[in-house]
Amino acid sequence: VRATSFIKGWTNDYSTKSVGAPRLRQLRVSDEWSGAVPSLFKPWYGYRVGHLNILNEEKKPFRSGWNSFPRFYKEPPVWTYESYRASESVGMFGYSGLFYRSGGYGEMLHTTKGNSDRKLIRLFMNDWIDNYTRAIFVEANLYSVNSNLFSVITIITEYLPSGVYLTKANVEAAYLTFSSHDYYNVMVIILTISLILIILIIIGIKSVILKSLLGIRNFSTNWWTLCDALLIIIGTLMFVGYLLTLIYFNLFKELLQKDKSARFTSFYEPFYWLNETYILGGVFAILFAIRLINCMYCKVTHLIFGKAFRLVAKFLITLLYYFIV
């Protein structure tokens, strides 16, 4: 990111824009959990600190240099722990395989390289990273203008008790905003959503007819009618989740032009809905395939819809088999 203020937030090739400012986030072990060191090693190591876990995680406010506050001290803290809701962060696995929870001590950087470098120098001069530090997260949200792509970049650096540093990068990307030249992608999305709506309407009409024929008691005790109800619920949630994701990302796109503040903009909410939509979509596809197979041998369906529905079901199953194999 360049250091000049009038192009803040842009990369050197002017193709990627930072959504909000980058952020540093630290997880550390409480100083109350440090252990004694054998006398032979005390000249080099004054204390022993173990792995980070839910019991020994530090959450107290501190002054600069990780100095604790005296009792009844009224000065506002410099470094404050933020929960996962306040920090809008998510936990992730490090390169070592250890899982690091969300939240932590956050420090905002800037949308320009010069101001970010000065902030890093101040942090290092005040010993923001010490022997109690166990994980440092560098979090940045980017929007690529050329590819119309949102991405979340998280670089986690672990400091293990053995003194080893391990680094892992995690990148999530989503293509969920459209412009005038994205005709093909818009048509694919519209056709997909329309197909899901048609399937939900057909299943809903079929469920209403079966309920009137079988009665509420028989309808609620039959596995296949319950499967139809699950398809309606899961399909509706999937549809709503995808729409919410589109709305969130379009709001973030507007934020690129309007918001000039140097604050962290979390993509946790839209990517959460996106991942949930993918999971619901997989469950919906499996249940729908099972239901289609059952419909081929269902006498009630034959009486209501006739042979035409069976032919359509056979065609869809053959098509599904073709794509899987």
Q: Percentage of residues in the chain with pLDDT exceeding 70?
A: 73
* pLDDT band per the 50, 70, 90 thresholds, residue 299: low
- What's the pLDDT at 5? 41
Average pLDDT score over residue span 300-323: 58
Nearest to 137 by CA among 172, 108, 173, 117: 108
User: Is 70 exceeded by the pLDDT of residue 127?
Assistant: yes
Residue 168: predicted pLDDT = 92
CB-CB contact of 289 with 320 (8 Å): yes
When pLDDT is averaged across residues 75-79 and rounded to a whole number, the result is 80
Residue 247 CA to residue 201 CA, distance in Å, equals: 24
Q: Cα–Cα distance between 61 and 70 in angstroms, integer?
A: 11
Share of the chain above pLDDT 90, in %: 7
Q: 101 and 54 in contact (C-beta within 8 Å)?
A: yes
Most confident of the ranges 77-81, 119-123, 175-179:
119-123
Per-residue pLDDT at 144: 82
Quote the CA–CA distance of 265 and 120 in Å, as a whole number: 20
Range 150-173 average pLDDT: 87
Distance CA 174, CA 151 (A): 6
- Tell me the DSSP string of 220-277: HH-HHHHHHHHHHHHHHHHHHHHHHHHHHHHHHHHHHHH--S--B---HHHHHHHHHH
Q: Is the pLDDT of residue 225 over 50?
A: yes
| Confidence at 92, pLDDT banded by 50, 70, 90 | confident
SS3 294: helix
